[in-house]
């Protein structure tokens, strides 16, 4: 039995339906860090894995709010404070009906290693609710956010735990959450990041994750001696914060982005996506993507209902580089095979764990440059930390300064991941490189801080 198999056996009790994605993330990390565990027995002696896979605490609470018809609605809220060995707990809030403890444990666990990779002083956490913001009025969103914060404020603070946005939580929601935090604590402090710029947000926070993923990809392609993205066909999935800003940066550097998608379907526009129109549909009006085709009749729309067997229309479009930026497990083994057949050179995870384990293994075995989420999408949390620094010193950095620091951070992460992979005998494997580099820093801090 290999060391990885032995370690995984210890955690078999974590493998149940609700924990499926958490177990998937944990298994990947354990396989990746096996060379580190073999080379230094101190990690086993200090039971680091056993300690790391259990959150410091999980806060679960009831959220009761009144809808526009004055009916009482009840949701569940969560905050998973996973690990603060490197700094205050930090990670986003997700509002989506699929949210449960297992999903947040997966995201919080990934966040520990991601935050470690940034080299900044931030620990790992994640939170959210099964509340569905879709179809709710602004007033209902505000009432839900207010009720959510009534409970959450007891557990957060600029030196304790600093939540941010994620799926379903953008500037609007962070604004309402911050307003209520301020009221409840009588304190104007950076207990949340992702705030609008005019009351404490950082310039470039909305762009950070998408732009960061593109900066990471440019750096990875250069290290791997592949052609740059300029002039190349790229496919992007999703049409939310990460996807829109990945498309924006790709277009700025001269790449041709021909797709986007949402939970209902995919747009393929061979002439290149019209970003202004897309922002108008998805950001301003929160409408259906299908509308895109009425303005661009050369574009096609494919409904997800046409893909019941798990292949996804967006990955059937031939491309040089693919950017899954929607949600977890959206790129399956079948999709990976299609990408390989169509000559794809690189895949960058803008979303958290959008690629299934089987798909990742297939892409790596075909030497596709593969940028894993915990490295490639760390730009969002890095700029969140810049927002914490600005709040603490009551200063405001220029767009250029934040952008330069973001680019530098993403290049640094990319080099560190590539070097770590080389040092541990898995050159070119950015999954193992990211897991080992991220784990080692947290583990060393945990050992130094005692039990
Ligand atoms: P948003 O809520 O802004 O957007 C999510 C997008 O994904 C929407 O367009 C949504 O469609 C689409 N989507 C959701 N489920 C599916 C599906 N099953 N198939 C196709 N599309 C789908 O979220 P973000 O852009 O903020 O987050 C996207 C991903 O990036 C998540 O995995 C998140 O954890 C990760 N991430 C986000 C960061 C950030 O800074 N925002 C930071 C790091 C990671 P619809 O509109 O129909 O719901």
Q: How many CB atoms lie within 10 A of CB 138?
A: 9
441 found inside a domain: no
Q: Is 78 left (phi over 0), alpha (psi -120 to 50) or beta?
A: beta
> CA nearest 125: which of 170, 154, 94?
94
pLDDT along the chain (451 residues), means of 10: 85 84 94 95 96 97 98 98 98 98 97 98 98 96 98 98 96 97 96 96 96 98 98 97 98 98 96 98 91 96 87 94 96 97 98 96 98 98 97 96 98 98 97 98 98 93
Q: How many CB atoms lie within 10 A of CB 45?
A: 9
Note whether 207 and 402 are within 8 A (CB): no
Both 170 and 286 in one domain: the answer is no
Pairing mode, strands 346-348 and 321-324: parallel
* Domain closes at, from 337, 367, 397: 367
* Domain closes at, from 367, 400, 427: 367
> Look-up: residue for tokens 């794809």?
344
CA 306 vs. chain centroid, Å, equals 27
Q: Output the pTM of the full model.
A: 0.95
Both 159 and 227 in one domain: the answer is no
Residue 362 Cβ < 6 Å to ligand 1: no
> CA nearest 82: which of 119, 107, 99?
107
Q: What is the CA radius of gyration of the chain?
A: 21
Task: Convert the pLDDT of each residue in 146-175 to its tens digit.
Answer: 999 999 999 999 999 999 999 999 999 999
Both 181 and 222 in one domain: the answer is no
Both 251 and 353 in one domain: the answer is yes
Q: Is 338 left (phi over 0), alpha (psi -120 to 50) or beta?
A: alpha
Both 238 and 131 in one domain: the answer is no
* Domain closes at, from 154, 187, 220: 187
Nearest C-alpha to atom 29 of ligand 1 is from which residue?
351
159 found inside a domain: yes
Instruction: Assign residue 135 the CATH number of its domain.
Output: 3.40.50.10860
3-state secondary structure of 114: helix
> CA nearest 430: which of 220, 115, 219?
220
pLDDT, position 245: 98
126 is catalytic: yes
Both 161 and 226 in one domain: the answer is no
350 found inside a domain: yes
* 350 alpha carbon – ligand 1 mean position (Å): 9
Total number of domains in the chain: 2
How far apart are alpha carbons 73 and 281 in whole angstroms?
29
Both 225 and 156 in one domain: the answer is no
434 found inside a domain: no
Instruction: Assign residue 222 the CATH number of its domain.
Output: 3.40.50.720
361 found inside a domain: yes
Note whether 430 and 370 are within 8 A (CB): yes
429 found inside a domain: no
Range of the domain at 20: 3-187
386 found inside a domain: no
Note whether 233 and 254 are within 8 A (CB): no
Q: Is 236 left (phi over 0), alpha (psi -120 to 50) or beta?
A: beta
Residue 326 Cβ < 6 Å to ligand 1: yes
Both 140 and 265 in one domain: the answer is no
> Look-up: residue for tokens 């620091």?
405
Residue 387 Cβ < 6 Å to ligand 1: no
Residue 259 is given by DSSP the state E
- Which of 126, 182, 195, 441 is the catalytic position? 126
Both 63 and 113 in one domain: the answer is yes
179 found inside a domain: yes
Both 86 and 122 in one domain: the answer is yes
Both 139 and 47 in one domain: the answer is yes
pLDDT, position 12: 82
Q: How many CB atoms lie within 10 A of CB 69?
A: 7
* 75 alpha carbon – ligand 1 mean position (Å): 21
* 83 alpha carbon – ligand 1 mean position (Å): 24
Residue 242 Cβ < 6 Å to ligand 1: yes
Both 162 and 268 in one domain: the answer is no
Q: How many CB atoms lie within 10 A of CB 136?
A: 17
């Amino acid at each position: 039995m290999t060391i990885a198999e032995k370690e995984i056996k210890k955690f078999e009790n974590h493998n149940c339906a609700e924990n499926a994605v958490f177990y998937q993330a944990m298994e990947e990390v354990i396989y990746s860090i096996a060379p580190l565990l073999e080379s230094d027995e101190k990690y086993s002696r200090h039971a680091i894995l056993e300690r790391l896979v259990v959150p410091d605490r999980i806060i679960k609470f009831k959220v009761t709010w009144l809808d526009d018809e004055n009916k009482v609605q009840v949701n569940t809220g969560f905050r998973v404070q996973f690990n603060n060995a490197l700094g205050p707990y930090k990670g986003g809030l997700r509002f989506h009906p699929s949210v449960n403890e297992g999903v947040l444990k997966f995201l919080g666990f990934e966040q520990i290693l991601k935050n470690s990779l940034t080299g900044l002083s931030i620990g790992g956490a994640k939170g959210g609710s099964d509340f569905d913001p879709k179809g709710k009025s602004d007033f209902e969103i505000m009432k839900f956010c207010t009720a959510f914060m009534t409970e959450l404020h007891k557990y957060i603070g600029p030196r304790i735990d600093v939540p941010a946005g994620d799926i379903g939580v953008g500037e609007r929601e962070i604004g309402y959450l911050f307003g209520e935090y301020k009221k409840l604590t009588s304190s104007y402090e950076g207990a949340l990041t992702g705030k609008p710029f005019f009351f404490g947000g950082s310039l470039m926070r909305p762009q950070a994750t998408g732009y960061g993923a593109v900066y990471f990809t440019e750096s990875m392609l250069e290290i791997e001696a592949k052609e740059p993205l300029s002039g190349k066909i790229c496919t992007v999935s999703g049409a939310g914060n990460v996807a829109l800003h990945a498309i924006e940066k790709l277009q700025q550097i001269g790449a041709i982005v021909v797709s986007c998608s949402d939970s209902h379907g995919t747009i393929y526009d061979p002439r290149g996506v019209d970003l202004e129109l897309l922002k108008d549909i998805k950001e301003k009006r929160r409408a259906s993507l299908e509308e895109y085709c009425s303005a661009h009749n050369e574009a096609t729309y494919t409904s997800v209902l046409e893909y019941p067997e798990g292949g996804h229309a967006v990955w059937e479009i031939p491309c040089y580089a693919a950017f899954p930026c929607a949600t977890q497990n959206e790129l399956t083994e079948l999709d990976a095979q299609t990408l390989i057949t169509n000559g794809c050179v690189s895949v960058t995870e803008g979303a958290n764990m959008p690629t299934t384990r089987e798909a990742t293994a297939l892409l790596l075995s075909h030497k596709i440059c593969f940028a894993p989420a915990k490295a490639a999408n760390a730009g969002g949390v890095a700029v969140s930390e810049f927002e914490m620094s600005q709040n603490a010193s009551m200063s405001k950095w220029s767009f250029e300064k934040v952008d330069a620091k973001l680019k530098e951070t993403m290049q640094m992460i990319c080099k560190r991941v590539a070097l770590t992979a080389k040092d541990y005998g898995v050159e070119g494997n950015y999954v193992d490189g990211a897991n080992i580099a991220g784990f080692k820093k947290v583990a060393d801090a945990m050992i130094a801080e005692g039990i």
